Amino acid sequence: MESGEQWLGRNTDAERRLWEKLNPRHRRQLRVIAGALALRQGQARLPESARAKLAALAGELERWVARLEKLLATVATRTPRAD
C-alpha cells in the first residue's frame, strides 16, 4: 500500500512530485484532513461528544470541498491553457 505522499506524487510527466510542489502549510493541511477522515471512519471507538463534533466538522469540510470544486471548475473554464 502506498503512502499519501506517494499517491499524490504519482505523475510521471512532472519534474517534481506533486507533494514536493506543495508548500509546507498546505502539506500540513492535507495531513490534518487525512487524519480527521481516518478518525471519522473509526468513530465507533470515540466518545459520543467527540463523535458528534467530528461528524459536524466532516460535514462542514464536505461543504467546503464542494465549494472549492465549483470554484476550480469555473477557473478552469475561464483560464486558457498554456501550451
In a domain, 11, yes or no: yes
Alpha-carbon span 74 to 64, nearest angstrom: 15
| CB burial of residue 27 (10 Å; 0-12, 13-18, 19+) | middle
**77 vs 71: which has the higher pLDDT:** 71
The answer to whether the beta carbons of residues 29 and 21 sit under 8 Å apart is: no
| Residue 36 domain flag | yes
Residue 74 domain-assigned (yes or no): yes
Q: Does 83 map to a domain?
A: no
- Between residues 17 and 62, the one the model is more confident about: 62
What is the domain range of residue 54?
4-78
**Over the stretch 20-70, which tens digit does the pLDDT of each residue have?**
778 888 888 888 888 877 877 776 677 888 888 888 888 898 899 899 889
Residue 25 lies inside a defined structural domain of this protein: yes
Q: How confident is the model at residue 6, as a pLDDT?
A: 55
Q: How many domains does the chain have?
A: 1
- pLDDT value at position 63? 93
Is the per-residue pLDDT at 9 higher than 80? no
Identify the pLDDT of residue 1: 44
20 inside domain? yes
